[in-house]
Structure 1
C-alpha cells in the first residue's frame, strides 16, 4: 500500500485548474423560484446532476439489477446511484458497459454515484476503497462519490474527506459529497474542509422533511439528495396521497417524487421493475398546484423515518 504522501504528491502533479468552492466561498447562489421541476440541478462546484436517479439499494449483484439499470437508461434515466455497501457495483458496471456499447452513448452522458462504506474510513482506506469501486464499475472516474455515513471517529471522518478532495484533484471523481450527515456533522466538516460538499444524501419525503437540516445545507449550497422518497412504499396507500394522486391523474409514487423534485431535490426512487422505473421517470412531467403542495407540506410533522442510517436528531 502506497504511503499517503505518494497520493498527495500525485494529486499535486495531476490537479486540474478549476475553481472549487471553499468553506469561506462556496460559490453558491440562491436558486431562483421554479414553477415546475427541473431535469438537472446545478451543484456548487459547477457540475450538473440529473434530478432523478435509479437507486439500487438492496438490489442483487446479478442479472436482475443489470436488467433494471438498462431499463432505466432506456427509459431516459441518466443517473445511477449505488454504494459499496449495496454490494452490487459490479452488476451496475456490467449494465453500463453493455448499454454504452449497445447505444454508442458517451460515458459523459450518464451520471454515476457510489459511496464509501463505514469500514473504510481513514485517508488511505478511503482512497483505496474508491479505486476498488472504480474497478468494480469498470470506470475511470465517478461523477459523484459520497461518504455514506459519518464515522463516529471525527478524525477519521476528516481524513476520509481529505482523501475525497485528493481524488477530486486527481480526476477520479468530479464531485464529492456526504450522506446521512446531520447539522453537527456538517459544521465539524466545514470547519476543516477545503471543498464544500456538493450534496447531502438524506431521507426526505413529505412525511420526513427535516427542514432545519435542509436549510442548513441550502446556506452552504449543498444540494439535497432525497433517498427513500416513497417512504419505502409504506405511505403509498395513505388516503391523503391517494386523493391528490387521483385528483391529478397520477400514481401516489409520482406525487411523492414530484413533491420532492419541486423543492429542488435530487430524487432517488428504487425499483427493479421496468414499468415502475418508467413510471417514476414520468413523475417530473406535471406540476402540483400550490394547494396540493401546501397539503403535502403539512404532513411533515409526522417525522416518519424509515432508514437505519438516519442517525442525527435533525
Structure 2
C-alpha cells in the first residue's frame, strides 16, 4: 500500500513538472513573457506564480469566496491572504469548492498566508500556524510569512525558528518575510542559515525602494509587490494615462506590467470579476524600453501608502 501511494505521488509530481509553464529564473529587469502563467523560481527551489489575487480588507464571506473562485476560473494560481485580514476561512472555502468543482490537484494552486505581530514568539507562532491551516482547511501552505518585523527582535527570531521547523515538517513549503527593511533582514540573516524566500513590501512605480530591492536580490530574496496600483491613487496620473493610451491598455495594467517586468511577484487586490480578469491581462504584453524608462522616472516621488512601512528604506 505504501509503495503504491508513493508511486502515485511521484507520478503526480512528474506530471506537474512536465506541464508547459515558463519560469523566470532570475529577478532581472525584463518584460514578462506572453503567458499569464509565468512563475518565478525561489531560492529554495520552489516556484511561485508571478501574479496573485490579494485579499487585503476583503470580507470573510460570500463576496470574497466569489472573488477567489472568479480569479481561479480566470487563470490565477496564487492566492495571498493573512491572519490579519480575517478572511482565511472564506479563501479556504472558495479554494475547496473550486478544487472539487474542477478536479484540479491542490498542488496546482499556490496559497500564501501570514503570521500577525501579536502571535510572534515560539508557542504563539505554532498555535497561529495551526489555526490558519484549520481555517483554510489545508494540510500545508505554499508560503508562510512573518507579516511584519514587529518591535520585539527576540520574539521575531523565535517565530522564524518555528517557520524553519514547519518547513522541514512539510507544513509550509516556502517561508519568507513582509515589511522587512534592510536592518531587519541583516538581523535575521545573522541569526539563521535559512534565507527568506521572499520579502513582501510595497513596490510600485511611485515607490520603487531600489536600495532595499537590490539588497534582497543580492541574497536571492524575491520581491512580492503589494499595493502595485498605489491603492488606486495614481490611476489618473497624467504620465501613466499617456503610456496607457500609447499601449492601448488601462493604467492599472501598465502599473502591474511594470512590476512584473522587473521580476517581482505582483499582488493586485480586487473583488470585481472584470477587474480580476483585466489584472491578469496585464501579463500578456510588453512595455517598450522607452516606456519602462519613463515609468522608472516616477520613482523619485517615493509615494508610500502602506501603514506597515516600518523602515527608512
Common fold by TM > 0.5: yes
Counterparts of 1:62 and 1:68 in 2: how far apart (Å)? Answer: 10
* Closer, same or farther: CA 32–302 of 1 in aligned 2, 3 Å: closer
Compute the displacement of 1:210 (Å). Answer: 0.2
* Closer, same or farther: CA 150–100 of 1 in aligned 2, 3 Å: same
Match status 1:93 vs 2:89:
no
SS at match of 2:280: helix
SS at match of 1:191: helix
Of 17, 33, 36, the match for 2:32: 36
Query: Scaled by the length of structure 1, what TM-score is found?
Result: 0.90
Compute the displacement of 1:194 (Å). Answer: 2.4
Other-structure match for 1:256: 255
Deviation track 1:11-30 (CA, whole Å, cap 9, x = no partner) reads xxxxxxxxxxxxxxxxxx86
Compute the displacement of 1:34 (Å). Answer: 3.8
Other-structure match for 1:209: 208
Deviation track 1:236-264 (CA, whole Å, cap 9, x = no partner) reads 00000001000000000000000000000
Counterparts of 2:302 and 2:235 in 1: how far apart (Å)? Answer: 16
Other-structure match for 1:119: 118
SS at match of 2:191: coil
Other-structure match for 2:154: 155
Other-structure match for 1:185: 184
Match status 1:276 vs 2:275:
yes
Counterparts of 2:240 and 2:29 in 1: how far apart (Å)? Answer: 25
Counterparts of 2:128 and 2:240 in 1: how far apart (Å)? Answer: 41
Other-structure match for 2:46: 47
Name stretches of at least 5 consecutive residues in structure 2 with no aligned partner: 1-24
SS at match of 2:56: coil
Q: How many residues align?
A: 286
Other-structure match for 2:163: 164
8 Å CA contact 2:229, 2:235 repeated in 1? yes
Compute the displacement of 1:127 (Å). Answer: 1.4
* Closer, same or farther: CA 253–31 of 1 in aligned 2, 3 Å: closer
Counterparts of 1:91 and 1:30 in 2: how far apart (Å)? Answer: 34
Counterparts of 1:304 and 1:33 in 2: how far apart (Å)? Answer: 22
Q: Which runs of 4+ in 1 moved over 3 A?
A: 29-35
8 Å CA contact 2:26, 2:263 repeated in 1? no
Counterparts of 2:61 and 2:81 in 1: how far apart (Å)? Answer: 14
Other-structure match for 2:198: 199
Query: Scaled by the length of structure 2, what TM-score is found?
Result: 0.90
Name stretches of at least 5 consecutive residues in structure 1 with no aligned partner: 1-28
Q: Cα RMSD over matched residues?
A: 1.1
Counterparts of 2:216 and 2:27 in 1: how far apart (Å)? Answer: 13
Deviation track 1:111-132 (CA, whole Å, cap 9, x = no partner) reads 0000000000001111110110
8 Å CA contact 2:257, 2:282 repeated in 1? yes
Counterparts of 1:211 and 1:34 in 2: how far apart (Å)? Answer: 16
Other-structure match for 1:310: 309
Other-structure match for 2:217: 218
* Closer, same or farther: CA 86–110 of 1 in aligned 2, 3 Å: same
8 Å CA contact 2:29, 2:262 repeated in 1? no
Compute the displacement of 1:181 (Å). Answer: 0.1
Compute the displacement of 1:36 (Å). Answer: 2.8
SS at match of 2:305: coil
